[in-house]
Amino acid sequence: MTDFIEGLPKCELHLHIEGTLEPELKFELAGRNGIDLPYASVEEIRAAYSFDDLPSFLKIYYEGMDVLRTEPDFYDLAMAYLRKAASQNVRYAEIFFDPQAHTSRGVPFDIVIRGLRRALIDAESRLGIRAQLIMCFLRDFQAEYAMATLLESLPYREWIVGVGLDSDEKGNPPVKFKAVYERARQEGYLLTMHCDVDQENSTEHIRQAIEEIGVNRVDHGVNALEDPSLVEAIRERGLGLTVCPISNGYVTDSMKADAIRRMLDLGLRVTVNSDDPAYFAGYVQENLVALADALDLSREDLVQLERNAFEITWLPRHLKDAYLAELDAYAAG
């Protein structure tokens, strides 16, 4: 099955580019920027990755980004991910970035986006992997800062396909960002947001995301299964769910494999993604293998997961169809 998964044309829709910063690149960027890391080796960095919930992960995630300072740093970060993803036959990715994690420490918005954008263009021509950017707001900052970030993004509107919401969910419900999301929709952005797993008020947050914000997709969203009316709302609207099994295993009590099985059986558009692969030790290939092992997935299940993913991408219909045809050819092969 590992071989079948390797060859499978894949699509990744829940991937934080800052969460792909591997310890090796962290050292390289620290050296380039004259920053002293409080670690002596790659092994020491990895050993410090101990987290058991979302806040403990986020602390290490934000600390790690301090080495990202210049446009070439962001280019190298994105290029390293795209190379890795292409090697796993990821054909298309929608990539989150957290501009406020950089502007809040003095790195200008345009440095971040120009570096990322240049990597996407080069990766498409050199590696044949296509990608688009989703700009995430940090939900533990004020809504006014998110709005200012949205306005700052407008000169780059054509480089960003949609907006998302991430960081610490506790006490930061979707409705806090209602005005920001309304403006984002007016500007033509597509809308998604994290409804992280096993949070305080998870089901209420999913309800708000769907009914009050009107999202086009839900990131994670596993707890929707606890409320039949949410399952119905997701099905009725055809909303995709970007689930991240290995990540779930780090920040909650399990990979939530059984929940993914139920979502597949219910015909929901559930997908498998890596979230922050440098921190959770698994890219999309490893996530699919871990899930296939846990659930004894069939080839049809795996093809269905990727069909769901290509179907819910924010690509024009003809490109979706081209990727789906590639997937069908592989499944038939």
Work out what residue 19 binds among ligand HPA, Zn ion, none; the CB cut-off runs from 5 to 8 Å by kind. Answer: ligand HPA
Residue type at position 134: I
Q: Does 174 bind ligand HPA (CB under 6 A)?
A: no
Report angle CA 118, 123, 129 to the nearest 5 degrees.
135
d(CA 15, CA 49): 18
Give the Å distances, CA to CA, from 225 to 136, 235, 245, 303.
25, 12, 16, 22
Least gap, CB of 222 to ligand HPA (angstroms): 12
**What string marks each residue from 30 to 69 as x (binds ligand HPA by CB under 6 A) or -?**
------------------------x------x--------
Q: Which residue, 60 or 231, has its beta carbon nearer to ligand HPA?
A: 60
Least gap, CB of 296 to ligand HPA (angstroms): 26
Least gap, CB of 206 to ligand HPA (angstroms): 14
- Interactions with ligand HPA, residue window 264-323 (CB under 6 A): 275-276
Q: Per the annotation, does 194 bind a ligand?
A: yes
Q: Does 166 bind ligand HPA (CB under 6 A)?
A: yes
d(CA 173, CA 201): 9
Q: Does 167 bind ligand HPA (CB under 6 A)?
A: yes
Asked whether 272 and 295 are in contact (CB, 8 A), the reply is no
Q: Where are the alpha helices (DSSP H) in the chain?
A: 2-7, 23-32, 42-47, 54-64, 71-87, 100-103, 109-127, 143-153, 178-186, 202-207, 228-237, 245-251, 257-265, 277-280, 284-295, 299-312, 317-332
β-pair partners for 194: 219
Q: Which of 19, 162, 164, 240 binds ligand HPA (CB under 6 A)?
A: 19
CA 69 to centroid of chain Cα atoms: 22
Work out what residue 76 binds among ligand HPA, Zn ion, none; the CB cut-off runs from 5 to 8 Å by kind. Answer: none
Q: Per the annotation, does 14 bind a ligand?
A: yes
**What string marks each residue from 193 to 212 as x (binds ligand HPA by CB under 6 A) or -?**
-x-x----------------
The encoded tokens of residue 200 equal: 């305080």
**What string marks each residue from 262 to 281 as x (binds Zn ion by CB under 5 A) or -?**
-------------x------
Q: Per the annotation, does 276 bind a ligand?
A: yes
- Interactions with ligand HPA, residue window 223-262 (CB under 6 A): 247
Burial-class residue 156 by CB neighbours within 10 Å (0-12, 13-18, 19+): middle
The encoded tokens of residue 282 equal: 């698994």
Least gap, CB of 108 to Zn ion (angstroms): 24
Q: Per the annotation, does 220 bind a ligand?
A: no
Q: Does 16 bind ligand HPA (CB under 6 A)?
A: yes
Instruction: Give the count of residues interacting with Zn ion (CB under 5 A).
Output: 1
d(CA 139, CA 333): 45
In the numeric block, the tokens 């596993």 are attached to: 222
Q: Which residue, 102 or 139, has its beta carbon nearer to Zn ion?
A: 139
Residue type at position 82: L
Work out what residue 313 binds among Zn ion, ligand HPA, none; the CB cut-off runs from 5 to 8 Å by kind. Answer: none
Alpha-carbon torsion (324, 312, 255, 224), positive or negative: negative
Work out what residue 306 binds among Zn ion, ligand HPA, none; the CB cut-off runs from 5 to 8 Å by kind. Answer: none
Q: Which residue, 244 or 315, has its beta carbon nearer to ligand HPA?
A: 244
Asked whether 27 and 283 are in contact (CB, 8 A), the reply is no
| Footprint of ligand HPA (CB under 6 A) | 16, 19, 54, 61, 166-167, 194, 196, 247, 275-276
Output the known binding site: 14, 16, 194, 275-276
| Footprint of Zn ion (CB under 5 A) | 275
